Amino acid sequence: QVQLVESGGGLVQPGGSLRLSCAASGNGFSIGAMGWYRQAPGKQRELVADITSAGITNYADAVKGRFTISRDNAKNTVYLQMNSLKPEDTAVYLCKGDARRGFRTYNYWGQGTQVTVAS
């Protein structure tokens, strides 16, 4: 069984910073690409950033230069460092991971962590 557990969300003022963590666990699985998505009320879920197992990163235009995704493969953990936060960054942030078992790859989602940027 694969589980993704997010942490690090909270309330922060505009211009502030937060660091999200997502720890993946699952015996018998190899965790591949991981990413962060977000979904604001009334809006569609969107990709924030993702990172391959080799460390190749991809960012949404809205967060480039402000957010940094990284991972610790030894810990099966992906991070999202969020700086210069804006109110429009407010959303539930969800972790997504690719878990491989044999020749099959499965996508798993965490429950999400709330990020609120407000004065």
Residue 39's pLDDT is 98
- Is the confidence at residue 26, as pLDDT, over 90? no
Residue 27's pLDDT is 86
**In this structure, what are the phi and psi dihedrals at residue 17, rounded to the nearest 5 degrees?**
-135, 150
Average pLDDT, the chain: 95
End-to-end CA distance of the chain: 40
pLDDT for 41-85, tens place per residue?
999 999 999 999 999 999 999 999 999 999 998 899 999 999 999
Instruction: Assign 16 a pLDDT band (cuts: 50, 70, 90).
Output: very high
pLDDT for 77-116, tens place per residue?
999 999 999 999 999 999 999 999 989 999 999 999 999 9
Residue 9's pLDDT is 97
Sheet strands (E) in the chain:
3-7, 10-12, 18-25, 30-39, 46-51, 57-59, 67-72, 77-82, 91-101, 104-109, 113-117
How far apart CA 90 and CA 85 sit, in angstroms, is 9
How does strand 57-59 pair with strand 46-51? antiparallel
Residue 109's pLDDT is 96
